[in-house]
Chains A and B, each alone.
Chain A
């Protein structure tokens, strides 16, 4: 195993960056290919059923105009060039460029994701600490059972049930009103964000709790904890300064990994709670068969996910120098 690492060579960070670049290239090839296997092309999608009335020579002209007569690799490169210059396509339904739509939708999803991660940490870290304080005891069992329940309930179900109960029994349905952006009506915005963020946050609190529990139990058995205790470090300082601080490393990594789940879950949460985020943009594009919207938005999400993972990984290496030598 070691020999392959040496064989690959290079600084670990350079290698990780190279890997991320290669992944991004693969992501763009896959996204491009997905649009190619679709029935129809840009012509049928922009002319709709009228495309049937076009003559053969008109079709050929349009093919040449859109560059569809060129070889696939050339089409790919010109598409990639468009993406790099900010041309993500145009949505005729929205009457807007996909880049503009994304610029409006992305902040909504990011706000939702950040709120969800904060809620997950607020629930998951104390939960994991409580579970780890007496492994095998009742509190551990309760935490594990809750975690299993949460893992087994999909976001669409918890979201639907929560929204129905609050609307039916308490008459509280802030998401029934038009969406209020954070900058315009922060009070309304928070009310509309809190339920979807809670639903997503609870579902990723479970892996965060498990990670916290395992990390604390592992670290408690380490030599440096014994040394610190022998040195006379008070118990609660030991827990905060030595145990929890070291446990934060895997917790941060786990939060980064869960970001991808959040972006997927956001599609569902945004749909249930009518939030105009990027997940809803994908879904609307699919429903209206506007595949250029779908393609560009999926690409944006995947790139975002790759970057978040890269940053998490680099932060992890910075915080834990042991990883360097691995």
Chain B
């Protein structure tokens, strides 16, 4: 009886705090949190324009300078400051990745919960949708969508959201299948709670951890996909700086100015490693293998 009461009661706020503390005690979680925070600060500075130089300002006299005290990441062939451009590029990466994961995550989780909880025709229809979206290699689907719609950062975010939608559907659906026959869910229904209310009070809180892990991992994939689309010429359009475009442009000058390649390259890798380690730490803390307890 006491276990039933415990699981029915909503998680007290103190438990949330301990999740963060547990994450910081985890080595991967700590490194991931620090790296991600660092990158997010730089990216937000890029979005707000709080940068040492205007990322678009040209200064022909300062063209192609190697990294120095004045220009930490050097300058490009137009004399633009690479660090400021990297920060601005990280800003668009962060923006596109967050918007796309927010879209695919919210819609995907809702679809997944509905499919898992109600089953039947609805489940099969959603299953076909996910199978169809999974049938396209993710980069190819994003590329096709981004190339057919008009070019703006919004369409890029939308294209990436479509690509990662089915993953959230699957991640949410699986545990719901088990949860819907859990004692306390049956008890809630038996006491007269409406099924839709049960979904949000008893099922959603229980899959929160797994979804949080998936959100972090998908953010890292979204960052990579956005950069790959930009590299191929179908990502965030100019004049906004983009890490993928910077890497593409650096190719021609790589023998005389390798810093044009290393600046955006290192920023991208640090961002994605940070998100991956954050996600790995979070997964250790949440541990989906220990069941659906959290």
Contacts of A149 in B (CB 8 A): 269, 273
- Which residues from 22 to 43 on chain A have a C-beta closer than 8 Å to any C-beta of chain B? 22-24, 26-27, 30, 34-35, 37-38
Q: Does A74 contact B (CB under 8 A)?
A: no
A160 adjacent to B250 (CB under 8 Å):
yes
B276 touches A268 (CB 8 A): no
Q: A286-B147, A287-B233 are in contact. Are A306 and B140 (CB under 8 A)?
A: no
Q: Mark B12-26, 1 if CB is under 8 A from A, else 0.
A: 000000000000000
B contacts with A: majority SS: helix
Selected contact of B128 from candidates A22, A167, A298, CB within 8 Å: A22
* Contacts between the two chains (Cβ within 8 Å), count: 130
Instruction: Please tell me which stretch of A54-62, A98-106, A174-182, A256-264 contacts chain B, meaning at least 4 of its Cβ atoms lie within 8 angstroms of it.
Output: A256-264
Contact of A156 among B128, B135, B244, B277 (CB under 8 A): B244
- A26 in contact with B251 given A37-B148, A164-B261 (CB within 8 Å): no
> Which residues of B from 215 to 265 have beta carbons under 8 Å from A?
220, 224, 227-228, 231-234, 244, 247-248, 250-251, 254-255, 258, 261, 265
Chain A residue nearest to B268 in the complex (CB): A157
Within the complex, the shortest CB–CB distance from A59 to chain B, in Å, comes to: 23
- B233 / chain A contacts, CB cutoff of 8 Å: 287
Verify B269–A153 contact, CB threshold 8 A. Answer: yes
Residue B86 is within 8 A (CB to CB) of chain A in the complex: no
Picked from B123, B228, B272, the residue with its CB within 8 Å of the CB of A268 is B228
The reply to whether B140 and A26 contact each other, CB–CB distance below 8 Å, is no
The verdict on A164 contacting B255 (CB below 8 Å), with A157-B268, A282-B140 known, is: yes
B144 surroundings in chain A (CB, below 8 A): 34, 282, 286, 294, 298
Counting CB contacts under 8 A, is B139 at the interface? yes
Which of the residues A152, A262, A286 comes within 8 Å of B143, measured between beta carbons? A286
Closest partner residue, chain B, to A27 (CB atom): B135
Enumerate chain B residues within 8 angstroms of A148, measured Cβ to Cβ.
273, 276-277, 280
Q: State whether A271 and B232 are in contact (beta carbons under 8 Å apart), knowing that A157-B268, A282-B140 are contacts in the complex.
A: yes
Q: How far is the CA of A163 from the CA of B136 in the complex (A)?
A: 28
A38 to B145, CA, bound (A): 10
By size class, the interface of chain B is: 35 or more
User: CB-nearest residue of chain B relative to A26?
Assistant: B132
Report A313 CB to chain B, min CB distance, Å.
12
Residues on the B chain within 8 Å of A291, using CB = 148
From known contacts A34-B144, A152-B220, A298-B140, infer whether A23 and B135 are also in contact, taking CB-CB under 8 Å.
Answer: yes
Residue from the list A161, A262, A264 in contact with B265, Cβ < 8 A: A161
Task: Flag if A23 contacts B132 (CB, 8 Å).
Answer: yes
Interface of chain B residues 99 through 146 with chain A (CB within 8 A): 119, 123, 128-129, 131-132, 135-140, 143-145
The count of residues in chain A whose C-beta lies closer than 8 Å to any C-beta of chain B is 49
Which partner residue on chain B sits nearest A154 by CB separation? B224
A163, A260, A279, A287 pick with most chain B CB within 10 angstroms: A260
Known interface pairs A264-B139, A298-B140, A301-B140; A156-B148 also in contact (CB < 8 Å): no
Q: What is the chain A residue whose CB lies nearest that of B139?
A: A264
Complex contact B136–A27 (CB within 8 A): yes
| Per-position 1/0 for A304-316, Cβ under 8 A of B | 0110000000000
Q: A267–B232 contact, CB under 8 A? A: yes
Say yes or no: A260-B138 contact (C-beta < 8 A), given A22-B128, A26-B128, A298-B144: yes
**A155 / chain B contacts, CB cutoff of 8 Å:** 228
Considering the complex, give the chain B residue whose CB is closest to the CB of A158. B265
A100 to chain B, nearest CB (A): 21
Using A37-B148, A263-B137, A286-B147 as known contacts, say yes or no to A161 and B231 having CB atoms under 8 A apart: no
Closest CB-CB distance, A318 to chain B, in whole Å?
A: 22
What is the bound-complex CA distance between A283 and B254, given in angstroms?
Answer: 24
Interfacial chain B residues near A260, Cβ < 8 Å: 136-138
Whether the pair A268, B131 counts as a contact (CB closer than 8 A) is no
User: B177 in the interface, Cβ–Cβ < 8 Å?
Assistant: yes
Among residues of A, the one whose C-beta sits closest to the C-beta of B243 is A157
A157-B244 Cα distance, complex, nearest whole Å: 9
Give residues 246-305 of A contacting B (CB, 8 Å). Answer: 260-265, 267-268, 271, 279, 282-283, 286-287, 291, 294, 298, 301-302, 305
Residues of chain A from 82 to 101 with CB closer than 8 A to chain B in the complex: none
Chain B contacts for A27, CB-based, 8 A: 132, 135-136
- Structural contact, A301 and B137, CB atoms closer than 8 A: yes
Known: A23-B131, A26-B128, A34-B148. A264 touches B140 (CB 8 A): yes
Residue of A nearest to B266 (CB): A157
Is the Cβ of A265 less than 8 Å from the Cβ of B139? yes
Q: Which 7 pairs of residues, A with B, have the shortest CB-CB distance?
A: A264-B139, A264-B137, A26-B132, A164-B254, A152-B272, A286-B147, A168-B255
Taking Cβ atoms with an 8 Å cutoff, the residues of B that contact A are 119, 123, 128-129, 131-132, 135-140, 143-145, 147-149, 177, 220, 224, 227-228, 231-234, 244, 247-248, 250-251, 254-255, 258, 261, 265, 268-269, 272-273, 276-277, 280
Q: A157-B269, A160-B247, A298-B140 are in contact. List 4 more A-B contacts (CB 8 A).
A: A148-B273, A154-B224, A164-B261, A267-B232
* Subset of 23 A-B contacts with CB under 8 Å: A26-B135, A27-B132, A27-B135, A151-B276, A154-B272, A156-B227, A156-B248, A160-B247, A160-B254, A160-B261, A161-B265, A260-B138, A261-B139, A264-B137, A264-B140, A265-B139, A268-B228, A268-B231, A271-B232, A279-B140, A283-B143, A286-B234, A302-B140
